[in-house]
Structures are given as C-alpha cells and as structure tokens.
Amino acid sequence: MRLVLLGAPGSGKGTQAKQISQKFGLPHISTGDILRQAVKDAIPLGLEARGYMDRGELVPDHLILNLIKERFKSPDAQKGFLLDGFPRTVAQASGLEEMLGQQGMKIDLACSLNVDREELIKRLTSRRICSGCGAIYNLLFQSPQKEGLCDKCGGRLEQRVDDQRQTVENRLEVYLRQTQPLLEFYGSRSLLRDINGNAPPEKVFQDISAILQGK
C-alpha cells in the first residue's frame, strides 16, 4: 500500500505514522525527519534546508523531490510506504505522481487529519521530542512520567526550534497557502479520506486503521 498522510503542522501525522507503520508494516518516510537528520549531520542538504526550516518555510521542491527519489531506491520502499509531510505542494504531488507512474505505480490513498487552528497552536508549542529515539510527547496531553526524560529510552526531551509560537503561526500560514490545495488534488482523484484529528490519538488511530483495513 502507498499511503499519504496529510494535515497541518501539529495535526498528529508523526504520532499516527509511527503506529500505522508498525501495524501495517509500512516504512514511515518523513521528509521532516530526514531533513532534521541532515541538519544535525551538517551535510549539504541540511545546510541548504536549515534556514527555511528555522523560519517555518518550505524547503524548495527540487531538493525535496531529489531526497524522495533517493529514499525510494531503498529496498524497503519497493512494496509500499507511508509518506508523512510529503507531498507539501502541488508541484511535489505532481512530481510524485510522475515518479511512481514511470514504474507503473500510484498512490492508493491520502488520509487528511483535520484539526482546529487553536488546538494546533496549543499542541505544537507544548510538544517535546526525545533526542534519543524520536518519541513524541506533549506537556499538556501526553507528558512523560519523569519530567524532561523519555519513558521509552531515558533520552533528554527537547523542543523543536520551529515550535516557537511565532514560527508556528508562520508554518500554519504556509500550510494554508501551499499545502491545503493538495486536498483538491487528491480529492479530484477520489483518493482523499477525511479524518477528525481533534479526537484523542487512540480514536484517530482506530479511524485510520478502519479505513486501511477496508482497502
């Protein structure tokens, strides 16, 4: 199965993707995670992407499409995948369609997590990420047992640079302008499924699982 997870920043894509990937045995491909690792490793992609990411803007399409092209060459992506944070523009979605089409493949489903704006701001500004294993926490909704430490690996919890209030507001603007048109893109191909992302994470996961099991 080739699945796209759509939704605004903070809608729960990463949280859900980790569980879907486990349950359905799909590799979780997150362009945000790949870019953050490239920034950490100070490789050329990271050096180019960093400024855009820190400002809450999108990294240019050609860099992202090259990154995805490379990632698709890995053997684990041959049978299917779960895309999180990609595509993010109509140009990326068209590029993806073309890339898959050349191999006689296509996207099977695009699930869109819909969450109210105020809730998104609350979730993002109180999010913390484990510096060790990448587990996602939230100081308001899913806090760790020991303050500042990951329940799973004991790693230190950190706040993402782009989760500061002002950057969050910019990311939401960018989403409306550049990413929301993808709902129309996938809707017009009858691939779009809407999910109420305001519900608790367990309920959102149940709803996505039911859709995927029906495929």
User: Which residue numbers are catalytic?
Assistant: 13, 88, 127, 160, 171
- Amino acid letter for position 13: K
Neighbours of 51 (CB within 10 A): 10
Q: Report CA 20 to chain centroid distance, whole Å.
A: 12
Q: What is the rounded CA–CA span in Å between residue 139 and residue 127?
A: 6
In this structure, are strands 136-138 and 127-130 parallel, antiparallel, or unpaired? antiparallel
Least distance CB 72 / ligand AP5 (angstroms): 14
142 is a contact residue toward ligand AP5 (CB under 6 A):
yes
Whether the CB-CB separation of 17 and 176 falls below 8 Å is answered with no
Closest Cα partner for 126 from 116, 141, 148, 111? 141
SS3 5: strand
DSSP assignment of 191-206 equals -EEEEETTS-HHHHHH
53 is a contact residue toward ligand AP5 (CB under 6 A):
yes
59 is a contact residue toward ligand AP5 (CB under 6 A):
yes
Of the pair 2, 127, the CB lying nearest ligand AP5 is at 127
Of the pair 104, 143, the CB lying nearest ligand AP5 is at 143
64 is a contact residue toward ligand AP5 (CB under 6 A):
yes
Work out which of 123, 186, 192, 195 binds ligand AP5, going by CB under 6 A: 123
Footprint on residues 173-192 left by ligand AP5 (CB under 6 A): none
32 is a contact residue toward ligand AP5 (CB under 6 A):
yes
Work out which of 2, 6, 7, 20 binds ligand AP5, going by CB under 6 A: 7
2 is a contact residue toward ligand AP5 (CB under 6 A):
no
Work out which of 93, 192, 204, 208 binds ligand AP5, going by CB under 6 A: 204
What number of chain residues touch ligand AP5 (CB under 6 A)?
35
How is residue 199 written in tokens? 């519900």
Q: Report CA 13 to chain centroid distance, whole Å.
A: 5
**What is the contact surface with ligand AP5 in residues (CB under 6 A)?**
7, 9-15, 31-32, 35, 52-53, 56-59, 64, 85-86, 88, 92, 123-124, 127, 136-138, 141-142, 162, 171, 200-201, 204
